[in-house]
Amino acid sequence: MSDFKLGNKSLKELEGVHPDLVAVVKRAIEITVQDFSVHDGIRTLEEQRKLVERGASQTLYSRHLTGHAVDLVPYINGKLRWEWDPIYDIAEAVRVAAKESGVTIRWGGAWDVVFTNTDDSPEDLVVDYVARRKRAGKKAFIDGPHFELPKQVYP
Ligand SMILES: [Zn+2]
């Protein structure tokens, strides 16, 4: 068990998010070695439009709009940090929590795999994903803090 707890801001962000995903986040904070904040839960279309405009998101059909996605950002020395090493630790905690609860998760570090169906390290998953995109002649948009309930399982 970790000593970390979700703060009020994180709990607020979880309002309106699908209960399966909320359960995973609440379990993840108990077992993670890296503290995190729920930076973004549900979003309005207007918020999403702004993110797409500044290149922070690729789609107007984000799973955040429907309460099927959360962004979990490392919280280090009182600040949110978008850094890969702590992001990998959080991803690992989310995967363990999701597997425990039997919830299927798709991760923004490797969009084309079912995160909860693999045991590869999050770091390896990102490297492999970027390589696959490169081979296909495509850009890799990686978003390590992003976790979602996949459409195939949660329409
Ligand atoms: Zn996201």
How many angstroms does the Cα of residue 108 sit away from the middle of ligand 1?
8
Q: State in Å: Cα 136 to ligand 1 middle.
A: 24
Q: What is the enclosing helix (H) or strand (E) of 22?
A: helix 19-31
The Å distance, Cα 134 to ligand 1 centre, comes to: 22
Percentage of the residues of the chain whose pLDDT score is greater than 90: 92
Distance CA 13, CA 43 (A): 9
pLDDT of residue 75: 97
Model confidence over 86-127: pLDDT tens digits?
999 999 999 999 999 999 999 999 999 999 999 999 999 999
Mean pLDDT calculated for residue range 75-89: 96
Q: Is 42 left (phi over 0), alpha (psi -120 to 50) or beta?
A: beta
Instruction: Give the amino acid at 135.
Output: R
Identify the structural domains of the chain with CATH numbers, from first to last: 8-148 (3.30.1380.10)
Determine the pLDDT at residue 58. 86
User: What is the 63 CA–ligand 1 centroid distance (Å)?
Assistant: 8
Helix (H) or strand (E) holding 69: strand 69-76
CA of 68 to the centre of ligand 1 (A): 10
List beta partners, residue 79.
76
Least confident of 10-24, 48-62, 118-132: 48-62
- Note the pTM of the prediction, 2 decimals: 0.94
